[in-house]
Structure 1
Amino acid sequence: MKALVLAGGSGTRLRPITHTSAKQLVPVANKPVLFYGLEAIAEAGITDVGIIVGRTAPEIRAAVADGSALGLTVTYLPQEAPLGLAHAVLTAQDFLGDDDFVMYLGDNLILDGIAPLVDKFRTDRPDADILLTRVANPQAFGVAELDETGRVVGLAEKPTSPKSDLALVGVYLFTPAIHAAVRAITPSARGELEITDAIRWLIDHGFTVRPTTITGYWKDAGNVADMLEVNRWVLEQTKPAVHGTVHADCELTGPVRIEPGAEVRGSRIMGPAVIGAGTRIHRSRIGPFTSIADHVTVEDSDIEYSIVLAGSSITGVRHIEASLIGRNVKITPTAPRPTAAHRLILGDHSEVQIPS
């Protein structure tokens, strides 16, 4: 069995971070979200992995390399443009051959992994197994409709009037039957080859499509709010560990992980939280559910429920909350001015909240 991991999207919902970084490499608890999926695939006993890549291919390649560090053998599959999930299957056809495979969206996270699901698929071997979960906003997802016997009778991609609250999770299991389906369908109104259309083709042509509803934690970490929520969930699993230097004038409460080379002085850190390697925390308060990456400086500041990427510095800032701060960002207070004017340098698609 093989795996097909999709890491070619442009990440428009995570701009401006994704103007300069692949969305699948934005870290959750200081580990790229893509790696959680790759680790889940390895834990399921699958080692042969194809990764669909687009314009961020060099960055994905640099992070994952040949996959050996994760116990995988990785083949990179360039996709001409993000033309839909079914188009990704078409792109990977030569790699997949006649093997069964799991398709895993690279910005999704299933906290409990997929090993039991893969084992059941290997045993029963339906033509397709689609993972579902109940959501409050099904119009934002692919949605499945089941009949009273639990059989899939309808699928729709981001419907305006959903017929159920069962969203398609970004993990699918297929036999080679899916290849005929993706070749048979045509682009949707939004110009993409939809995997929901391909699965519907399987149903219409008498193939077995099994729905599996999962109840554990799943999230499509496609926007800032979801990314912060995923970070919170993963941090809740943090085991406390201090590998760096924490001076006597500090207070650590709850599960806090301090990576090697980090220094914490005159500060309070309330877990769950993780402080990256080589990071300096001086005279600051780090609130719960905060991930601070490697080689960051936080001085005389207060931050909570946030993600700070590598190389950034925060100095003299009273309070930061629910924020995603990119790489090599510098945050400082402005000098007091009689007019209390704000001086801003913002990239495209930025969103800033300031006191009026």
Structure 2
Amino acid sequence: MKALVLCGGHGTRLRPITHTSAKQLVPVANKPVLFYGLEALREAGIEDAGIIVGDTAEEVRRAVGDGSRFGLRVTYIQQEAPLGLAHAVLIARDYLGDDDFVMYLGDNFLVDGLTGVVETFRRTRPDAQLLLTPVADPSAFGVAELDRDGRLVGVEEKPRRPRSDLAIMGVYLFTPVVHEAVRSIKPEARGELEITTAIRWMLEQGLRVTSHVVHGYWKDTGRVEDMLECNRLVLESQEPRVVGEVAEDCQTVGRVVVEEGARVSGSRLVGPLIIGPGAVVRDSYVGPFTSIGPGCVIRDTEVEFSIVMERSSVLGVRRMRDSLVGKDVVITPAAAQPRAYQFVLGDHSRVRIG
């Protein structure tokens, strides 16, 4: 069984971060969200993964390499444009051959992993298997309709009037029959080959498409709020570890991780949190559910419930929370007099002033 991991797309909901970075590589607890998925695939016994890449192909290649760090053999498959999930299956035909496969969206986060799901599929081997979960706003997702006996009878992509609250998660399991399905469909109104259209074709042909409702934690990390929530979840489960330098004038409370080469002085750390390798925290408060990336500098600042990505500096900020700060960002206060805010902001930025 192989894996097909989707790392294309433009990540518009995470702009401006994704103007310069792949959305699948935005870190959760200082590890790219994509890495959690690759680790879950290997734990499920999968050894071969094809990764669909687009405009951010080189960044993904640098981060993942040949896959050996994850115990995987990785093949990269270039997608000319984000033309839909079914299009990704279509262009991966030669790579997938006649193998069963799991298709995994690289920006999804599934806390319970994939082992049980893959084992069930291997044992029962339907033509396709979907994972479903109840959501508050199903119109933002592909939606599944079940009959009274719990059998899948219909799917629809981002419907205006959803027939259920069951969203289709970003994990799909297929036998090779799906290749006939993706060849048999046409692009929808958005110009994309939708995987829900292919699944609907399979249902109409009388093929066996099963579903499983998942009640564990799952997130499509397409929005800042979702990234911060995943960050909180992972940090809550970490064990405290201090291998960096924490001065005697510091106070640490709760599950605090200070990585090798990090230096903390004159500060209060209230976990769960992580301070990445080589980061410097001085005369600051770093509060719960915060990830400080490698090489960052936090000085004379209060920050909590936030992700600060690598090599960024936050200097003299009175209070920062619920924030996602990209790479190589510098945040400093304006001159004392006259008081004013000064911004250099990319497209689609969001700023709240307190």
With the length of structure 2 as denominator, give the TM-score of the two structures.
0.99
The aligned residue for residue 351 of structure 1 is 350
Q: Distance in 2 between matches of 1:341 and 1:109?
A: 40
1:83 & 1:252 partners in 2: Cα distance? 49
Deviation at 1:342, TM superposition (A): 2.1
Match of 1:5, SS state, is strand
Q: Give, in whole Å, the separation in 1 of the partners of 2:256 and 2:133.
A: 31
Task: Report the equivalent of 2:60.
Answer: 60
Cα distance in 1 for partners of 2:307, 2:215 equals 27
% identical aligned pairs: 62
Distance in structure 2 (CA, Å) of the matches to 1:151 and 1:189? 28
Task: Quote the offset at 1:27 in angstroms.
Answer: 0.4
Q: Distance in 2 between the 1:52 and 1:249 partners?
A: 49
Query: Once the two structures are superposed, what CA deviation does each residue of 1:114-159 show, in whole Å capped at 9, x if it has no partner?
Result: 0011001001000000000000110110000000011111111111
Which residue pairs with 2:107 in the alignment?
Answer: 107
How big is the shift at 1:300? 0.6
The alignment partner of 2:237 has SS state of coil
Q: CA deviation at 1:21?
A: 0.5
Q: What is the one-letter code of the residue matched to 2:269?
A: I
Name stretches of at least 5 consecutive residues in structure 2 with no aligned partner: none
Paired AA for residue 11 in structure 1: G
1:243-262 superposed matches below 5 A: 243-262=243-262
Shift, 1:352, TM fit: 1.2
What residue number does 2:210 align with?
A: 210
The residue that corresponds to 2:5 in the other structure is 5
Secondary structure in 1 matching 2:46: coil
Aligned equivalents of 2:218, 2:345: Cα separation in 1: 32
Which residue number corresponds to residue 197 of structure 2? 197
Match of 2:346, SS state, is coil
Does residue 276 of structure 2 align to residue 276 of structure 1? yes
Check whether the contact 2:242–2:257 (CA below 8 A) recurs between aligned residues: yes
AA partner of residue 72 (structure 1): L
Who is 2:323 aligned against? 323
**Structural mapping, 1:32-71, within 5 Å:** 32-71=32-71
The code of the aligned residue for 1:344 comes to F
The amino acid that maps onto 1:165 is D
Match of 2:161 in 1: 161
Q: Which residue of 2 aligns with 1:297?
A: 297
Where 1:156 maps in the other structure, the secondary structure is: strand
1:157-195 Cα offsets, whole Å, 9 max, x none, are 111111100000000000001000000111111111000
Tell me how far apart the structure 2 counterparts of residues 148 and 353 of structure 1 sit (CA, whole Å). 47
How far is the alpha carbon of 1:341 from its aligned partner?
A: 2.9
Q: CA RMSD in A?
A: 0.7
What code does the residue aligned with 2:28 have? V
Q: Is the 8 A contact 2:42 2:70 kept in 1?
A: yes
CA distance in 1, matches of 2:208, 2:2: 20
Give the whole-Å Cα distance in 1 for the aligned partners of 2:86 and 2:203.
Answer: 16
Offset at 1:274? 0.5
TM-score (norm 1): 0.98
| In 2, Cα distance between equivalents of 1:347 and 1:142 | 31
Within 5 Å, give how 1:64-79 maps onto structure 2: 64-79=64-79
Letter in 1 for 2:350: E
Give the Cα–Cα distance (whole angstroms) in 2 for the partners of residues 346 and 66 of structure 1: 36
- Taking the aligned partners of 1:91 and 1:315, their CA distance within structure 2 comes to 47
Q: Distance in 2 between matches of 1:289 and 1:106?
A: 23
- Supply the distance in 2 between the matched residues of 1:260 and 1:303 (Cα, whole angstroms): 21
Aligned to 1:90: 90
Deviations 1:183-224 (A, max 9, x none): 011111111100001001001001000011111100000011
CA contact (8 A) 2:107 2:221 kept: yes
Deviation, 1:336, is 2.4
Match of 1:353, SS state, is coil
d(CA) in 2 for partners of 1:329 and 1:98? Answer: 47
Distance 2:312 2:346 in 1: 16
